[in-house]
DNA sequence: TTGTGTGAATCCCTTCACAGCG
DNA sequence: CGCTGTGAAGGGATTCACACAA
């Protein structure tokens, strides 16, 4: 469906625009590399090898080089990668060389916890609005932000130019909230509700599903047990 | 490394023990199917087709059948799957046909939020211990459980027979806590710290990395923008 | 000599297509 | 006839291996 087999004039602009389809696993690894590079900036030397990045990211040197090769060639043969330069490049690639306005929909326990997760702001994700349907919460505040009712969703998101939404509402409310957020122009959703959201293909959704991850653990443990 | 190419007498015991390597993506989909089946039990008929499960799980009918075929053949040709029977089977496979004793290490915002996440208990994950290093928290309680200091880790985990650990401590403390938990006999870790834990190969680790997921979103959005 | 960048080979997952059971 | 179960085909991602640049 929607076959974007675009002409590939290859190597046209190796830096900014990327043409080929990038595996999701590559993106996850880039996040790891970025964190490793940040660590290295404090403690390590000025350059890293793919080998070193591989060890820290629990992958292989070839994988590191292949991952990076999707976006250009950033290393020097015989030397490795300039730590600071590669870090900046990865920030660009991952789109974290800027700040993102985020709205929190659902100020329950999980939502609120996230809100003060320190790692968010350090990456430029800035919470600019909180929405919750609980009348007892509306009007009260969290770290300088007032909690609004769901009826304000459209005006808030549009008015503030929100691009990302953290959706942390009960499953039954999630689909509707997602649709309204998309209609209000948001560009991506981090979804905590344990359902598969139906949104237009151009709106990426990342699912956070803790029960599923626990199930993966109990499967792995049970599995191992029943071998042997 | 560690090549477990085991003899494959094939089809020996199609139900309980499984020999072949199962893709992680299959396990994630099984979780979805399980949830769908639970929904169906309330509202739907007594049987489902792979087609129906595929739609609800956002995959294909062939994929559903292939996923299930790793574990046996649970359907009736021409009919589909018995909803209740398949649900039970999936519970067995995922290891949620029993309860799991879970300890929470790190009672910060994220940790505490999880603790009252309703979906956990409904799947049999039972929090039996909370550990935190903050002297102000130790001795106080959360929903009937007292918070213990890190020095009690070993005795608590062993004494209570804890099998799963939710690790929600700052990155710098995570590796040490993980090692102590493993030494205390736990069997799996749900890790919220943004580092790659080094643990023995027989201890499965599931990483929850929200910053990484946000980065995946900003990448996808930026990516899309720089095409066209 | 060292360590990157990359085609080629390999491995693994998904999709296809159909035989076969109910 | 309907729908599962499954070998075979196909497509992607990882790994290999080496040419090449510093």
| In the block, residue with structure tokens 């106080």 | B140
Per-residue model confidence as pLDDT tens digits over B136-185: 999 887 778 999 999 999 999 999 999 999 999 999 999 999 999 999 99
Please tell me whether any atom of strand D lies within 7 Å of the Cβ of A36.
no
Measuring from the CA of residue A23 to each C1', which nucleotide is nearest? D13
Token code pair at residue A139:
């009007």
- What tens digit of pLDDT does each residue of B81-117 get? 999 999 999 999 999 999 999 999 999 988 888 877 7
Q: CA B69, C1' C14: Å apart? A: 14
Is the minimum distance from the CB of A28 to strand D below 7 Å? no
Q: What is the mean pLDDT of chain A?
A: 89
Contact: B188, A217; criterion CB under 8 Å: yes
Residue B7 confidence (pLDDT): 30
Q: Which residue does chain A place closest to B58, by CA atoms?
A: A196
Are B178 and B190 in contact by the 8 Å Cβ rule? The answer is no
Closest residue of chain B to A121, computed from CA coordinates: B211
1.10.287.4070, 1.10.10.10, 3.30.1490.440, 3.30.70.920: which CATH number matches A2-93? 1.10.10.10
Distance CA B199, CA B175 (A): 9
For B34, the closest chain A residue by CA position comes to A212
Contacts of B187 in chain A (CB under 8 A): 221
Structure tokens that stand for B90 in this block: 């999936």
pLDDT at A4: 30
For chain B, give the percent of residues with pLDDT over 90: 76
Reduced to 3 states (helix: H, G, I; strand: E, B; else coil), residue B165 is strand
Please give, one letter per residue, the 3-state secondary structure of chain A: CCCCCCCCCCCCCCCCCCCCCCCHHHHHHHHHHHHHHHHHHHHCCCEECHHHHHHHHCCCHHHHHHHHHCCCCCEECCCEEEHHHHHHHHHHHHCCCCCEEEEEECCCHHHHHHHCCHHHHHCCEEEEEEECCCCCCCCCEECCEEEECHHHHHHHHHHHCCCEEEECCCHHHHHHHHHHHHHCCCCEEEECCCCCCCCCCCCCEEECCHHHHHHHHHHHHHHHHHCC
- Tell me, what's the pLDDT at B17? 39
**Predicted local distance difference test score (pLDDT) of residue B93:** 98
Q: Which of A18, A123, A211 is opposite residue B119, by nearest beta carbon?
A: A211
Which of B18, B35, B190 comes nearest A214 by C-beta?
Answer: B190
Taking the CA of residue A45 and the C1' sugar atom of nucleotide C20, their distance in angstroms comes to: 65
Class of domain A100-211: alpha beta
- Dump strand ranges (E) for B79-222: 80-82, 100-105, 125-131, 141-142, 145-148, 164-167, 188-191, 205-207
Could you tell me if B120 and B127 are in contact, meaning their C-beta atoms sit under 8 angstroms apart?
A: yes
pLDDT band at B15 (very low <50, low <70, confident <90, very high): very low
What pLDDT, on the 0 to 100 scale, is given for residue B112? 87
Choose the weakest-confidence range: A218-227, B53-62, B126-135.
Answer: A218-227
Q: Is the distance from CB of B55 to CB of A182 less than 8 angstroms?
A: no
Whether CB of A71 is under 7 Å from strand C: the answer is no
List CB contacts (< 8 A) between A93 and chain B: 219
Q: What pLDDT is stored for residue B114 in this prediction?
A: 84
Residue numbers in B near A101 (CB within 8 A): none
Considering all CA atoms of chain B, what is the largest pairwise distance in Å, rounded to the nearest integer?
Answer: 63
Phi, psi of B136 (to 5 degrees): -70, -25
What mean pLDDT comes out for the span A60-80?
97
- Whether A213 shows a pLDDT value over 50: the answer reads yes
Q: Is B14 a residue whose pLDDT tops 50?
A: no
Interatomic separation, CA of residue A79 and C1' of nucleotide C1, rounded (Å) = 11
pLDDT of residue A116: 73
pLDDT, position A112: 87
Counted across chains A and B, CB pairs separated by less than 8 A come out at 183
Residue with tokens 């350090």: A122
Give the whole-number percent of chain A exceeding pLDDT 70: 91
Q: How many Å apart are B195 CA and D3 C1'?
A: 46
Contact (Cβ atoms closer than 8 angstroms) between residue B31 and residue A209: yes
The residue-averaged pLDDT of B45-70 equals 97
Structure confidence at residue A228 as a pLDDT band (50, 70, 90): low
Backbone angles phi, psi at B205, to 5 degrees: -125, 130
**Contact check, Cβ <8 Å, A218/B95:** yes
Task: Return the pLDDT at B19.
Answer: 57
User: Is pLDDT above 90 for A140?
Assistant: no
CB A88 within 8 A of CB A34: no
Q: Is residue B16's pLDDT more than 60? A: no
Q: Which nucleotides of C are covered by protein (CB under 7 A)?
A: 1-7, 12-17, 20-22
pLDDT value, residue A19: 56
Q: What is the pLDDT of residues A1-20, one digit of tens each?
A: 322 323 222 222 222 334 57
Asked if A75 CB < 7 A from strand C, the reply is yes
Mutate to test the interface with A, among B17, B164, B217 (most CBs of A within 10 A): B217
Q: Parse chain A into domains and list their residue ranges.
A: 2-93, 100-211
Mean pLDDT, rounded, for B43-64 = 95
Compute the average pLDDT of residues A71-90: 97
User: What's the mean pLDDT in A137-158?
Assistant: 91
Q: Is A185 (CB) below 7 Å from strand D? A: no
The pLDDT assigned to B45 comes to 84
């Amino acid at each position: 469906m929607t076959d974007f087999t675009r002409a590939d004039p290859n190597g046209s602009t190796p830096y900014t625009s990327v043409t080929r389809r990038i595996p999701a696993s590559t993106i996850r690894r880039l996040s790891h590399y970025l964190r490793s590079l940040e660590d290295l900036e404090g403690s390590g030397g000025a350059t890293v090898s793919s080998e070193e990045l591989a060890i820290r990211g629990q992958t292989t040197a070839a994988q590191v080089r292949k991952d990076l090769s999707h976006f250009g060639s950033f290393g020097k043969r015989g030397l490795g990668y300039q730590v600071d330069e590669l870090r900046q490049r990865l920030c660009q690639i991952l789109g974290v060389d800027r700040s993102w306005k985020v709205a929190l929909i659902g100020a329950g326990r999980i939502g609120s916890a996230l809100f003060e997760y320190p790692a968010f702001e350090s990456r430029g994700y800035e919470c600019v609005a909180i929405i919750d349907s609980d009348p007892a919460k509306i009007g009260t505040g969290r770290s300088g932000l007032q909690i609004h009712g769901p009826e304000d969703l459209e005006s808030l998101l549009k008015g503030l130019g929100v691009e990302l939404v953290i959706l942390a509402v009960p499953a039954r409310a999630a689909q509707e909230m997602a649709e309204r957020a998309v209609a209000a122009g948001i560009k991506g959703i981090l979804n905590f509700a344990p359902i598969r959201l139906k949104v237009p293909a151009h709106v990426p959704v990342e699912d956070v599903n803790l029960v599923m991850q626990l199930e993966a653990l109990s499967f792995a443990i049970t599995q191992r047990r029943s071998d042997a």
